[in-house]
Structure 1
C-alpha cells in the first residue's frame, strides 16, 4: 500500500495578477512532533496562521523527524510516494520548503544561504484507488510573506500591465522602463517588453537604486526603497507612448516602494494621420533581433543557438485598411569579410512565401462567411529585391489584405560567402577512402566553420526614391554541416550514414581482433569521436540491468571536436546483454527553440561474459 501526494507551489508578488512558480525549491515533509490534539489544531489552522521562517534551533530539533524530501520542477510541481519504507500510514505531516534563491534573480556578486520556511501541518484527504491512496495540494505563498523572502535575497521586482487609455485594451510588444528619482541623476532600474496581454516584469537589486557619483565606493538610498516613475516606448522607433514626469516618483503611491511593486499604466499607442503603418522587421523566427540575439550572433544565454536550415524573417506590415503602399527588402553581408551578396545571391536564398491572405466576404450556406486566399510572393521577381506589400481594402470586391507576419524565408545553407558563390554549408566525407575510426580525431579540414552574416532591412513607400526606415541585425551565426561517416565497421556494418555531425563509437575490447566479436570482462574501453562547431552536451552511458557504470560526460564547451577512449569498470555488471550509447546535443535552432534535428547518437550492443 502506498500514498501518492502531489502538489504545486506558487507565490504572489502582490495581491493582483502577478504570480510566479517556485521552481527548483526543496519540499520537505516532517512527522509531527506534537500531541494528537495539537496536531489536529495545527492541521485545521489556516496556513497564514502557521507560516514562518524555521530557526536554526527548530531545524535541528526536527531533523530526526524528516519523512521525505523532493524538489519542484520548472512549473512548481512536486510528488511524493510514501509507504512502508517511510513507515507512513496516512497521518498528518508538516510541510516546509527550502530556497537558496528566488525565480529570475538578477545576477550579482552576493551569495545567499539557504532559508527554510514552514507552511502548515496538513492532513491529506486521501482518496483510495484500488490498494493505493492519492491526494493533491496546491499552495500560493501570500505576497506579504513572499516579498519578505525575496528581500532576503536582494531580489526586487516590478510587475505591471500596460493598457490603451482610450479602449482599455492591453498593448503588446512595447518597452516599459522604470526609474528611481534621485538627487543628482535618476537611476534606471531596468526595462521589460509587454506580452500579448500587456503584462511586463522588471527585476532589479538594491545596487540599481543606490548609485551615486561615487559608486561603487559609496552607494546611498534612504529611507527604504526606490521612488518610481515609468516610460513606455515603441521598441523599434523609440517613440514614447507614455513619459511620466519624474515628480510622480515623490507621490504617496510611488515613493519608497518595497521589494514587490505592481502597477497599471495607461498609454496611447503611436498612430499617424491617415492610417499610416510602417513595414517593420522584428525577429528571426521567435527571436527578437534587438533583445534575443546577442552581439556575437547567437541567441541569448543560456541557449546560445546558431541558426540552421530555413528560418522565418518575421515582422509587421500594413494591412489593406492602411493608407500607405509599402515595399521592403533585405540586404545581406558576410560579416567576416564585409562582402555584400548580390541581388541574385540574396534572391537565391529567399524562396517564395505566403505574405498573408486576401479576405473576401460572401454569404454562403452554411457559413463561414469569409474566403481566405493565400498571397504568395516570389522575391526573385524584382531585380532589386523589393517586395511590394499587397493592397486590398474591400471585403466585397477584391478582398481585404491581412498580413501573416512573415516577411520572408531565408535559406541559411544557400547564403553565399563570396562573389564566387561558395555557400554557407559544408558536406564532409570522413568515410572514404580512409574512414575515421572512433577514438581518432577528425581531420582539421573536416571541421565546420562558424559563418556570420549581417542583415539590413530597408523599407520605403511604393517606388519612392528615399527610404522610410532601416534596421540592422549586426551578426547572425548560421551553421549547416553534414558528415558522411562509417560507424563501427567491425561490428554489424551495414553502410555509411550521413548525419548533422560526426558521432562515432567503438568498444575497444570487441573490435581489437577486427571482427567485433571480442568478449567483455571486468573492464571496457569505449572509444569515441564527436565533431561539430556548435556542441552543447555529450554523454556516454549504458543501458541494461543495474548496476551500471556512471555516465561519462566529456566537456565540449568551446571546442569543435573531441576524441579519446574512456575506461569503465564493469565488474559490478551481471553477465547479460547491454547497450552503450553516445548522445550529443547541438546548439542549433531553426527559429523556435532547439532544432529537432540537433542531436547525434550512436550505440553498440555487447555481452558481459560470466566469470569462470
Structure 2
C-alpha cells in the first residue's frame, strides 16, 4: 500500500480573504536541526515561519527528501517511502509566483520560506482515518501580503459591497478603485461583485505611479506631496446598470495603503429581491434632502412643519422616497398609497390629524400624481438589448382607492419592451428611492400678490400670502384576495402631521427714483436713490448690487433694510452714493436686485429670483 502525504497551501490577503498558493514548489527536508522523530506535535508555525537564506538553503541541500508542486487550488501530494513514515520533516516552499498573474520576482533571487516541522506518522494516521483529510497551512496575511508586494509587486484589494440598512450583499455591481493623485487620479482596476457581494482587484505599483509621461516616467504623485509616501490613496466608485451605488471622492481616500487592502463598502441604494419577505417597507424621506419625520437632525421637519434646519418649505413636484417590498411573507403582492389632509397638528404632537381628513389621495385627486421612475430593471447577465428597463409609474398602476401596485408597474414595463412577467427572473430590481412623485401645486391655493404695487410701495396685509400647511399619510398593505376584498395591513399609516408648502413667486419691483421723476433716458447727477419692493413669506435673501460699465464701481448697497432678515424688504429712498460712497463718476451704471426663497423640492432650491431685476442709468456729475 502506497503512503501518500496530501497537503494544501494557502495565504490570507485579508483576515477574511484566503487564496490558493498555486504553482509553487514544495520542499520536504529531513530536519535541519536535531528533532525528536517520535514527537507527537508539530512545531508552532507561528514561531517557525521565516525566510530561508541562500546559505541555509545550500547547507540543507543534502537533507532534501521530496519535491512537489501545488496545483491551481494550492494542493499537492507526495509518495512517502516506507522508511520515512515514522520520521519528522521540515516543510518549505519556493515562491516563484503569486496569484493571479504569476509574475516573476522583481528581485533576482529565489524566495524560499520555511513553514514548520511536522510528524509524518501523525499526518498519515489522520489520513488513514479520513481519506478527505489533508495537511493544511494558511500563511498569515501580514506575511503573505509582504511576500506578494515586496518580491512580486503584487497589490490587492479584497472587499464586500453591502446594503447599508439591511447588510445584504449586492451582486453583479461594478466596483472601481481609484488612487487620489496630485495630478491625475489613477484607475487601479474594476471588478464585479459575486453573489456574496465580494470583489477583488489586483494591480501593481505601475498602476498608481502613472504620470503624463508614462510609461517612460512613473512616480506616485501623492496629493499631500510634501509628505510623500509610496502607497496609493484609495477611494471607490460602484454602480449597477448605470445606477450609482458608491460615489466616493478624494476626500474619502484611505491614505497610503499597504500591499493588501481589506474594505467593506455599503450603499443606500436598494437592490430588491422580489422573493424576500423580510425586505423592510417604509416612507423615509422627501427627495434626497429631507427626512419624513419630526426631529432635531438636520434633514428632519420641525414642529411647525418647516423642512430641515434651513426651515425650507416644499414647492413644485416632490419625490416621496423610501422602499417597499414586492411581496409579503406569504408571497402576496404589496400595495401602498399616499394621501393628504388639510387638517394639521404640530409635528411634536403625540396625536395625528383625524384619518377622515386624508381625502386628497395621490392617483385620485386631480393633478396630484406625477409619473416618475420608481425602479430600474438591470439584466443579471449583460445583454446588448434591453439591458436596463426603467419602471415609470403610471395612472394605470392605481386602483379605484388610490392604492399603487409596483408589481403592476414592473410587469407593464416588461410588456412594453416585448417581454412577459416571467422574464423578471432575468433582472435585478434596483429601487430608485422614489415611491411616488407628488405635485404640491395641486394642493396650494394661496393667490399671488397682485401685480399692482410699484417699487417702494408696501404690500397691504390683505394681499400678503398666507401659510399653507398639510398632513401627509403613507399606508402599505398585503393583497390577499383583491376580488374578495381581503387585505392584510402591513403598516396602518405613517403620518407627518404638518408640512408647509408654497408655490407663490417672489414679488419684486425695482426703480431709480430720479429717473421716474424725469425720463428713463435722462442723465442724472447728485445723490441717486433706489426704490424697491421685495416680498415673500419665505424670503431667504435680498441684495442690491451697483456696478459701472468700467467696473471701477462694483459694490453691494447696504441701507439697513435690504440686508435684513425681514420677509418684506421695502424702501422708496435708498441712497446709492451718499457719503462716504459719493464717488460716482460719469459713466453708465447697472443696479441689480437679487433675491431667493426657502422653497425647495427635496432635490433643489427654487430658482425664483435667480435672475436679478436690473435698472440701468447714466450718471453725469457735470449735468446741469
Q: Shorter chain as normaliser: what TM range?
A: 0.3 to 0.5
Larger of the two Rg values belongs to structure: 2
TM norm structure 1: 0.47
TM norm structure 2: 0.46
